[in-house]
Amino acid sequence: MRIALGVEYDGSAFHGWQQQPCGNTVQDALQAALSRIAGLPVAVVCAGRTDAGVHATAQVVHFDTRVERPLSAWVRGTNTYLPAAVAVRWAHPVADAFHARFSAYGRCYRYLLINRPQRTGVWHGRAGWYHHTLDVAVMQQAAAMLLGEHDFSAFRAADCQASSPVRTIRKADVQRSGELIVFDFEAGAYLHHMVRNLVGSLVYVGQGKHPAEWIGRLLTLRDRRLAAPTFPAAGLYLVAVKYELLWGLPVSNDSFLPGISGL
């Protein structure tokens, strides 16, 4: 039997999603909890691996098991054994052809940025912070240049293992609500640190260090050294993974996460 789960987590205290020898990853915690419910080792596959400090409101995973358990056991039972910063939101049986990673056609990330002179206390570890006033209208103009298929080498981490730097962005949106600036991105897949690198360069544009057209030049030049530094992980959230309706999975709902525009 193959089971899909919807998982949320605060990534502040974890060394990312992917299992590591240190054991302090979200995957390690989830597999340990599921294994206690199953009474057998359980290995999970996720829709998208998040880095250290990155959060998720709608991570999707799947696992295979021969053990019969009610769906409530895979949710409430598993949550009993998970750290407080990780929770299973739903469980759903799926066909063997379903794959959390390869069946997904879209992934949505949201970056929350506090924009004010003083650093944040309440949002520490949960949002980025930038002290200079940012022009969101200019940032939105720059973000529009990211739409479509491009070579994103200028926004790719040096240790990125993707075979191609070409990606297609279907949504790139920047909006403000008071001191909060919200960046929303949707693509089929991303390069390592791609969203955080995009946010960093958009912030440079918003501060006036470069015009909006600079983003287009970075795409053309394909040189990571010319773009802005990688922005901190604290403000980044995986907020939706999109699948065809035929799989019958619950639709991601991030209404409790601050945002201005819908996904």
Element spanning 15, H or E: none
How far is residue 241's CA from residue 9's CA, in Å, rounded to a whole number?
Answer: 15
**Phi (first) and psi of residue 20, to 5 degrees:** -140, 160
Beta strands in the chain (DSSP E): 2-9, 45-46, 55-64, 86-94, 106-115, 128-130, 148-151, 166-177, 180-187, 236-242
Catalytic option among 10, 28, 51, 184? 51
Task: Please name which of 108, 111, 110 lies closest in space to residue 243, comparing C-alpha atoms.
Answer: 108
Task: Find the distance separating the first CA and the last CA of the chain, reported in whole Å.
Answer: 31
- H helix runs in 129-255, sequence order: 136-144, 194-207, 213-221
Task: Please confirm, yes or no, whether 96 is among the known catalytic residues.
Answer: no
Q: Count how many Cα atoms sit within 13 Å of the Cα of residue 191 in the half-sphere of its side chain.
A: 25
Residues belonging to the active site: 51
